[in-house]
Structure 1
Amino acid sequence: MTKIPPPPSHILFTFLLLTLPFHVKTQNNTTLNQEQAILLTLKQQWSNPASLSHWTPSSDHCTWPEITCTATSSVTKLELINKTIAEIPPSICRLENLTHIDLQWNEITGIFPTALYNCTNLEYLDLSYNYFTGKLPDDINLLSPHLRFLNLGVNNFTGDIPKSIGSLSSLVTLQLYTNLFNGSFPPEIGDLANLEELNFNYIPFAPQSIPSSFTRLKKLRNLWMTATNLIGELPDGIENMSALESVDLSENNLSGTIPDGFFLLKNLTILFLYKNRFSGSIPKRVEALNLQILDLSDNTLNGTIPDDFGKLTNLTGLALYFNQLSGKVPISLGRLPKLVNIGIFNNNLSGELPPDFGRYSMLERFQVSSNQFTGEVPKYLCANKVFTGLIVFQNKLTGELPNSLGDCSSLEVVRAYDNKFSGKIPDGLWTSTNLTTLMLSNNSFSGELPNELGSRLSLLELTNNQFSGPIPTGVSSWNGLTVFRASNNLLSGVIPQELTAPPLLTTVLLDGNRFSGHLPSAIVSWKLLTTLNLSRNQLSGEIPASFGLLPDLLYLDLSENGFFGQIPLELGNLRLSSLNLSSNRLTGRIPSEFENGAFNRSFLNNLGLCSNIPSVGLSNCRIKTTKSNKLSSQFIAVVSSIAAVAFLAAFLYTIYVCRSYRNKKKVSDSTWKLTSFQRLNFTEANILSRLTDDNLIGSGGSGRVYRVPINRSGEYAAVKKIWDNVKFDQKLEKEFISEVSILGTIRHSNIVKLLCCISGENTKLLVYEYMENHSLDRWLHGKKRQLSISSGSVRHMVLDWPKRLHIAIGAAHGLCYMHHHCSPSIIHRDVKSSNILLDSDFNAKIADFGLARILIKKGEPNTISVVAGSFGYMAPEYAQTRRVSEKIDVYSFGVVLLELITGREAHSGDENSSLADWAWRHVQQGKPIIDALDEDIKEPTYFEDINTVLKLGFICTSKFPSSRPAMTDVLQILLRCSQRLPLADKTNRNEYDAAPLLLNSNSKRSFESDDGSLSPV
């Protein structure tokens, strides 16, 4: 065989050159096909979610929006956010060049996926907002040595953070926030020399101090350890952490003094150390001139405010409230050019306030209440026309309010009570466009009341001043006013008919003035009035019968006047909690509804009044005739004989009954004790005899609920029977005590009334006002959601948007009262649609306080031993850390808002999903909002407001408590939506709680202090 010689070298080179592109292309196609196959396998393992329907073999995987490739079509980035993924298959690491994995906001369960150790090129890993459990593995350092970003936040990891995490030497970002770690974090974190961001917020670690090794983190820019159970003093050497920009160590138990090192960090812009136990003085030397927000509030700091704070020319927010600071405020502080909010209330500061506040900066909030300041209020506060809140109460300030406040259209809140102010109120202040709250009580202001008020003014307090003259007839135009308190002034003249016109009034206090003449005979619009006090005036005439037509009136005081005639029988129709008609000239018999011990001091010093009930303390009403003194002895004898026989018969019968009773099996309690919290028109006998199956309307884990008729006029009460057995259930006992202790003391038109409790040996009953339209849950989700029984007959009805908004506003009122107007505050802990009850007019009332908790005092632990509540409504931090705050109610209320909009239930039947999660996914997937709406409210007229409330629901259900608004802010937004409704759709609005100013969207937390003032940052 002839041997073929090899081709010349140039021919071989030419052949290779021509065939090389073919081989490269073949290799590229192979890589493309292999990696696409891996991705399609992953899709199949994730049960082919609809959100990945575009992952098909016919398309190039590098064009899929969740995928990022290199120029050679190799996958480097996998970003699958909120795709309902439930696992991380090991095959994910077959994508050999994968550097970036982002699987946040999914439904992944189980322990940490150690299969990711095989992703050897991984630089970025985000598994936040999932459902991981268990401990982090001790060998977590086997993750890629190239890993720079690790986020495992908002999961359910427990135990310790392993020491080996300090071996991930390339880490730049480490985020483990909002988990259930209950062990410790290791000092080895200080070995992460490249670390720039450390986020351990909201982790219930065992008590631990910050190790000194942390000061070796020279590149660390952000240190966030809010509410992580830190104790002890901060380590020395903080000034060595020269890269620090943002520090948040708030809501811990740190003690000792604040290290000087913080104020020597030239890059520091944000420092949060609030709610700790720091003592001593604030460092005097300040070189951190880039500081923008400084919050040292809620500690026990003393000494003075450093003069060097006047050098902080970048400072926008300063919070030093709730400390023990003393001395004067540096004058230079008022000249800071970027200062927006300052809160230094509740200290021992004194002297005059710096005069230049607001002159050189866009000042919005000025909060200096509860100090010892003297002199006048700075006059430049509104110089730049953005000023919103003047909070100066409980000081020793003098002079008049600045005239500039009368030309400050941005102003929303003025709280200047408990000072020594005098003179007249600036004219423009009364009618300020955006003013909602004007509180001037306990001063020496003078002048007359204005004819007009600003349309948004809802709270006006003028008590204990020297205002004089009549109530102007223009009072009929005060349409936005809900609370009017002007006790103890020099007001005079008659109570004009026009005062009864403002439709939203809930409270009118005009006691201790010089009013005279008769009261208006007709009530025009006081349908929401709950409190009326006209005592200690010179009023006369008869009490108008029309007062009996005020459906919500709870407190009525007309004492120390000159009223005469009989008490109108119509007053007996009211469900008064308090009545005082003492020291008048009233005559006749009091209405029978008031003939009980609850009103035994309501009629003192009325010589002409009488009653047939001795316990009331009035003379007997028996009619004495001339014949009454001539009764024959025979008649008396007959009556006496009859009485004796009757007594003997009763005595014998009683003995028989008692013996029979002892011989029977005991089936009910032998003694009953009734404790009333409202005026009652029934006895325990009326209730006990009607607890039958025919009257049963509901049952649950804590007992049964009955609809019980209480009188012949058709009134009903709702009776909750807590238990009926010999062995008391400790949980139910706690719920009963909680319900009684809270509902027995608070009063609000949007909180269900507890009329009384009836206690027996083995049974406890709670008797409430009956709510004709049952619960919101029945209307939204019940099988008979379209059946209304408010009129006694069944008719077709749905909840349109105006009704739903009215219900939301009512429930928000009730929660605002609990959070911001009760002292101490009350957290409900179980806000849900089934605990929002509706009366015949669809007014909402918060019910079921069995899980409620009185807010802890400062210094006490704010966690509970057992988490209780309802799935779908439970805030994540409450379920994970058992931490209790108002924000868990805000979260639950946000879920209720989403229910009102979508008509869906709070849970979807899947233990791992909820309405809040579904709503977030719906929006993030870009689906039309209209597709999420309940069919009953899909009317274009209301879309703008529905969209606003939907966004509010999202904000309220934020995963982070600090991102949720206060209920006062929520109420303001809902009320503004209500004001935009067409006139025909507007429903009555209840008391507008003295809401604080809405915070900027970039604020870290909702600041409203315990004293009701606004905090600044």
Structure 2
Amino acid sequence: MSKPPFSFALALLLNLFMFLSLQPFQVISQSFNTERSILLELKLRLGNPHSLQSWNSSSSPCDWPEITCAHNKVTGISLHNKNITEKIPATICDLHNLKSLDVSNNYISGEFPRILNCSKLEYLVLSQNYFVGPIPADIGQLSRLRHLDITTNNYSGDIPAAIGRLRELRYLSLVQNEFNGTWPVEICNLSNLEHLAMAYNDKLLHSTIPKELGALNKLKFLWMTDTNLIGGIPGSFNNLSRLEHLDLSFNNLNGSIPGGMLKLNNLANLYLYNNRLSGHIPWRIESFNLIDIDLSSNSLIGSIPEGLGKLQNLTSLSLFWNRLSGVVPPIIALIPSLKILRVFRNRLGGALPSELGILSNLEVLDISENQLSGPMPQHLCARGTLFALIASSNKLSGQVPKSLGDCGSLLILQLFNNSFSGEIPSGLWASSNLTSLMLNNNLFSGKLPGKLGSNLLSVEISNNRLSGPIPVGISSWVNIKEFKASNNLLSGKIPVALTSLPSLSTLLLDGNQFSGQLPSEIYTWNSLTTLNFARNQFSGPIPKAICSLPRLAFLDLSENQFSGQVPSELGHFNPNSLNLSSNNLSGKIPHQLEKWDYENSFSNNPKLCGNIPTLKRCSGSHKLPTKYLAMIIAFPIVGFVVIMSLCTFFMVRYYIKEKGRENLATRWKFTAYQKFNFTEDDILSNLKEDSLIGKGGSGMVYRVPINNSRECVAVKRILINDRKLDKNLEKQFTAEAQILGSIRHANIVKMLCTISSESSKLLVYEYMENQSLDKWLHSKKRASSSTSSTQYAVLDWPKRRQIAIGAAQGLRYMHEDCYNSIIHRDVKSSNILLDSQFKAKIADFGLAKMLTKQEESGTTSDLLGSFGYIAPERVYTRKANEKMDVYSYGVVLLELTTGREAIEGNENKNLAEWAWKHLEDEKPIEEALDGEIMEQCYREEMIRVFKLGLRCTGKEPSARPHMKEVVSILGRLGH
């Protein structure tokens, strides 16, 4: 046999080399194909969601955005916010190198996913879903797990002791679930743990904090708000040397604060508020990195330690609602970083440090409800950063510093219940940013100003010594909602200019020296809910126009000299509170008012009669005097002349309007955002005064029929005072209108189009048959118009629950699911509209306010919102954010559960403050609920929603839930 040639042998060797060298690539390719197949099968099991459209058989998994690879192997999957509803299959563990799995912010239900065989898993995030049942008892099999987050689900039962076997765990978050058992001391075995969050598990059984927790010497973050903790804070906490954030608020902890806790060098945030801690605040403070301390709402005694003054990085100090005494230490005023100081509702006395505001960028100072005395420091606004000064209910005296009048940053000033004297600084009246001025119950003198700052919403100056007339210039107070000036020395007649304030809801002028007749123009007060003119010298008849005010609920005209008959229209008015006593009224009262509700409303009017105990009975009919017979005969003749004159006037007006229609139409700009079956002319030709269904400070709303059918649209008309509208503002309006016009969500009112001219803008929306939630909740407490055909029955709890869920879903979509997050800025019950089936839809996104806010620079971030719904941090920041919407929505939840209005607290509290005070006073929650609907079968649901309303209206924005959490919580109701 001949030997093979050399070239043949060489070729054979080369082929062998190529085969061996290609073998690893073939293995890798085969591995890729296997992992791709597993992932494509996973996609199929998840319902083939559109959000995973990049997953296909022609590309490498390592190129898919949701996939992380290392060394060409799949190590991580992130399915965050992919609208997934299907369960995670166990086959996901066939990815043998999987280390990270994130399925947060989806709609996955069922039990804990079957992933215990993912033996290499280090990072697991299941938060913001609908998982139920217990955490598996053998979760300890995931022995490599370093990060576990199951926040905001429906897990229940005990927290398994097996978690204590996850020795590699650094991060553990069990926040906001339905755990109703115990939490295991075995968690204290997690020696590598750095982050432990168990907050808002209020169904856990009462338990003490185990002293073993102090052994977690790597712990940096501990958050256990509202977890039913009892007993004291163990001294072992002094060993948590690396701790940076400690929050044990909203529990039932008692005893004293361990002295060593304020020696933890790394501690930056300390939150122990809303407990029952007692004793003194430790005086030896060495945690020099502290930036935020909140020990409020406890039972702490003694003085404020001067050691706090050593904390040169401290920005916020909250010690309110305690029993602290002594003075505010001057050294506190020397902390350069201090922005927020809140020590209200204590027993502090003495004078305030004169240094306050000189060195620090002080933004909020709340020292109310103490026993402080002496003058107000002169330099509180030295740095020009002070937003809120609340010093009410003390013994402060002297004049208000002129420097406060020059403080351009000031938004809220509350100095009521003190002994301040002299004139109110003119700068305060004219301040362009001030929104709330509360100076009642002092010794102020002087006169009212002719002009008011453009943003001032509330002025309370009752129980002072102010004198003189109401100036004619009061017509410039265009944004004022509350004007309370009871018990002063004001005099003269009520000027007609006072009736031109479109947003006025509360007017208190009782206990002054006003005289003369009331102006008939008061019919323009469409927003007025409370009117008190008692104890003055008014005379003449009660104007009939007062009975046409659509929202008036409280009317007091007592102790005056009103004469004549009680207007018959008052019988259709039916207010909550009515007082016409101690006047010179005569005749018979309207028969609708002859009931026990009003038995004291007409006393001390000797010439009045009626079928109620406090009045004499009316005698039989008498022959009319001759002058009245003459009037009866003359009336038809005068009426005929008036009618003919009106007909002539309207015919001329119609002719002029028709002549100008063609020129007018050419000035309208029509912009469509959705498909519809009407034209611009359909809207313009049907926009008539008799179709007006709502009116506010920013515009009027009309119900406009289209195509001569029963189909209607709602048209909001915004009148623009300045016809030379800034181009930037015009562009911004157009941009925001396009965004809102593009929204497609079942719980957001559709904006169909805009129609614009130089002088006005029309916003065309879908029409909502049942109008606003506000009317259904509160109209029975207000005076309804005699011409109104709508009857608002009591909303039962199932409907209220449905409305709460719908509104929450709309806000969640705006905050989290829109391509660009949308902040509503003015969430309130009157902006939650209801269709024929009581489905809730969010409406009115502030476009109207943006266009009518002439003083603003054109940005909507500066808009304030509506009184009673405004988040407290609005005084600290001008920029709106999601948590401000959450606060306002929380007020709506409190309205739904209590039946009260947003501003229906006491003299100085809104609904949210009233509800929190109810909780602080440990009163039963049942006493706060709406008695008209609190059936026993819904009691627990209403309590849970009330508590959710409290969470949403928490003082600290970080403690409020996101709307996704709110939707999740409400979604569990009724099941």
Q: Which structure 1 residue ranges, 5 or more long, are not aligned?
A: 627-771, 776-785, 811-830, 853-867, 875-891, 899-915, 930-946, 958-969
In 1, are the aligned partners of 2:603 and 2:614 still within 8 Å (CA)?
A: no
Structure 1: how far apart are the matches of 2:224 and 2:551? 48
Structure 2: how far apart are the matches of 1:124 and 1:112? 15
Structure 1: how far apart are the matches of 2:602 and 2:100? 79
SS at match of 1:540: strand
**TM-superposition CA deviations, 1:17-76 (whole Å, max 9, x none):** 5554322322221122121111112112222111112211111211100111123x2111
Structure 2: how far apart are the matches of 1:314 and 1:347? 25
**TM-superposition CA deviations, 1:646-680 (whole Å, max 9, x none):** xxxxxxxxxxxxxxxxxxxxxxxxxxxxxxxxxxx
| Structure 1 residues 630-779: aligned runs within 5 Å | none
Tell me the CA shift for residue 597 of structure 1. Answer: 4.0
**2:413 matched to which residue of 1?**
414
**2:301 matched to which residue of 1?**
302
Tell me the CA shift for residue 795 of structure 1. Answer: 3.5
Distance 1:191 1:578, change over 3 A: closer
Structure 2: how far apart are the matches of 1:511 and 1:870? 41
Aligned residues: 745
Structure 2: how far apart are the matches of 1:299 and 1:306? 16
Structure 1: how far apart are the matches of 2:826 and 2:484? 35
Could you tell me the percent identity over the aligned residues? 42
Instruction: Tell me, yes or no, if structure 1 residue 949 matches structure 2 residue 824.
Output: yes
Tell me the CA shift for residue 587 of structure 1. Answer: 3.3
Partner amino acid for 2:108? I
Structure 1: how far apart are the matches of 2:335 and 2:101? 45
**TM-superposition CA deviations, 1:751-792 (whole Å, max 9, x none):** xxxxxxxxxxxxxxxxxxxxx9999xxxxxxxxxx997999x
Structure 2: how far apart are the matches of 1:773 and 1:546? 18
In 1, are the aligned partners of 2:212 and 2:236 still within 8 Å (CA)?
A: no
**2:380 matched to which residue of 1?**
381
Structure 2: how far apart are the matches of 1:63 and 1:328? 65
Partner amino acid for 2:385? V
TM-score using structure 2 length = 0.69
**1:894 matched to which residue of 2?**
808
**1:798 matched to which residue of 2?**
713
**TM-superposition CA deviations, 1:344-385 (whole Å, max 9, x none):** 111111111122222222221111111101112222222222
In 2, are the aligned partners of 1:509 and 1:534 still within 8 Å (CA)?
A: yes
**2:394 matched to which residue of 1?**
395
**TM-superposition CA deviations, 1:387-424 (whole Å, max 9, x none):** 21111111111111121121122222111111111111
Q: Which structure 2 residue ranges, 5 or more long, are not aligned?
A: 625-690, 695-700, 719-736, 741-746, 750-771, 833-840, 855-863, 889-911, 918-952, 958-975
**TM-superposition CA deviations, 1:282-318 (whole Å, max 9, x none):** 1111011111111111111111111101011111111
**2:28 matched to which residue of 1?**
28
Distance 1:379 1:614, change over 3 A: closer
**TM-superposition CA deviations, 1:567-624 (whole Å, max 9, x none):** 44444442233333333333334344444444333333333x1425363523644467
Partner amino acid for 1:233? G
In 2, are the aligned partners of 1:1009 and 1:1015 still within 8 Å (CA)?
A: no
**1:188 matched to which residue of 2?**
186
Distance 1:53 1:302, change over 3 A: same
**1:701 matched to which residue of 2?**
none
Structure 1: how far apart are the matches of 2:609 and 2:336? 71
| Structure 1 residues 542-941: aligned runs within 5 Å | 542-607=541-606, 609-611=607-609, 613=611, 615-618=613-616, 620-622=618-620, 795-800=710-715, 848=794, 851=797, 870=801, 873-874=804-805, 893-895=807-809, 897-898=810-811, 916=812, 922-923=817-818, 926=819
In 2, are the aligned partners of 1:505 and 1:991 still within 8 Å (CA)?
A: no
**2:160 matched to which residue of 1?**
162
Structure 1: how far apart are the matches of 2:253 and 2:119? 40
**TM-superposition CA deviations, 1:918-944 (whole Å, max 9, x none):** 667743xx4x89xxxxxxxxxxxxxxx
Partner amino acid for 2:86? A
Distance 1:175 1:254, change over 3 A: same
Tell me the CA shift for residue 837 of structure 1. Answer: 9.1
**1:507 matched to which residue of 2?**
506
Tell me the CA shift for residue 228 of structure 1. Answer: 0.8
| Structure 1 residues 453-468: aligned runs within 5 Å | 453-468=452-467
**2:361 matched to which residue of 1?**
362
Structure 2: how far apart are the matches of 1:141 and 1:554? 63
SS at match of 1:150: strand
Instruction: Tell me, yes or no, if structure 1 residue 488 matches structure 2 residue 487.
Output: yes
Distance 1:446 1:151, change over 3 A: same
In 2, are the aligned partners of 1:506 and 1:990 still within 8 Å (CA)?
A: no
Instruction: Tell me, yes or no, if structure 1 residue 979 matches structure 2 residue 849.
Output: yes
| Structure 1 residues 442-461: aligned runs within 5 Å | 442-461=441-460
Structure 1: how far apart are the matches of 2:748 and 2:490? 34
Structure 2: how far apart are the matches of 1:231 and 1:326? 26
In 1, are the aligned partners of 2:221 and 2:245 still within 8 Å (CA)?
A: yes
**1:119 matched to which residue of 2?**
118
Partner amino acid for 1:980? M
Partner amino acid for 2:344? F
**2:106 matched to which residue of 1?**
106
**TM-superposition CA deviations, 1:103-135 (whole Å, max 9, x none):** 112233332234x23222221111122222222
Partner amino acid for 2:352? L
Tell me the CA shift for residue 223 of structure 1. Answer: 0.6
Partner amino acid for 2:167? S
In 2, are the aligned partners of 1:484 and 1:507 still within 8 Å (CA)?
A: yes
**1:477 matched to which residue of 2?**
476
Residue 196 (structure 2) aligned to one of 198, 209, 213: 198
Tell me the CA shift for residue 794 of structure 1. Answer: 7.1
Distance 1:453 1:287, change over 3 A: same
Partner amino acid for 2:182? S
**2:51 matched to which residue of 1?**
51
Structure 2: how far apart are the matches of 1:240 and 1:1002? 37
Partner amino acid for 1:41? E
In 1, are the aligned partners of 2:47 and 2:86 still within 8 Å (CA)?
A: no
Distance 1:136 1:3, change over 3 A: farther
Instruction: Tell me, yes or no, if structure 1 residue 61 matches structure 2 residue 64.
Output: no
In 2, are the aligned partners of 1:528 and 1:551 still within 8 Å (CA)?
A: yes
**2:140 matched to which residue of 1?**
141
SS at match of 1:405: helix
Partner amino acid for 1:160? D
**2:838 matched to which residue of 1?**
none
**1:292 matched to which residue of 2?**
291
Partner amino acid for 2:229? L
In 2, are the aligned partners of 1:43 and 1:52 still within 8 Å (CA)?
A: yes
**2:40 matched to which residue of 1?**
40
Partner amino acid for 2:29? N
Tell me the CA shift for residue 7 of structure 1. Answer: 13
Tell me the CA shift for residue 256 of structure 1. Answer: 0.9
Distance 1:99 1:809, change over 3 A: closer
SS at match of 2:162: helix
Q: Which is further off, 591-600 or 211-220?
A: 591-600
**2:965 matched to which residue of 1?**
none
In 1, are the aligned partners of 2:506 and 2:529 still within 8 Å (CA)?
A: yes
SS at match of 2:420: strand
Structure 1: how far apart are the matches of 2:174 and 2:280? 33
Partner amino acid for 1:360? L
Structure 2: how far apart are the matches of 1:350 and 1:198? 40
**TM-superposition CA deviations, 1:151-194 (whole Å, max 9, x none):** 12222221222222111111111111111111112212111111
**1:326 matched to which residue of 2?**
325
Structure 1: how far apart are the matches of 2:564 and 2:329? 64
Instruction: Tell me, yes or no, if structure 1 residue 261 matches structure 2 residue 260.
Output: yes
**2:440 matched to which residue of 1?**
441
Instruction: Tell me, yes or no, if structure 1 residue 76 matches structure 2 residue 75.
Output: yes
Structure 1: how far apart are the matches of 2:413 and 2:526? 28
Tell me the CA shift for residue 458 of structure 1. Answer: 1.8
Distance 1:920 1:541, change over 3 A: closer
Partner amino acid for 2:447? E
Tell me the CA shift for residue 447 of structure 1. Answer: 0.5
SS at match of 1:78: strand
Tell me the CA shift for residue 483 of structure 1. Answer: 1.6
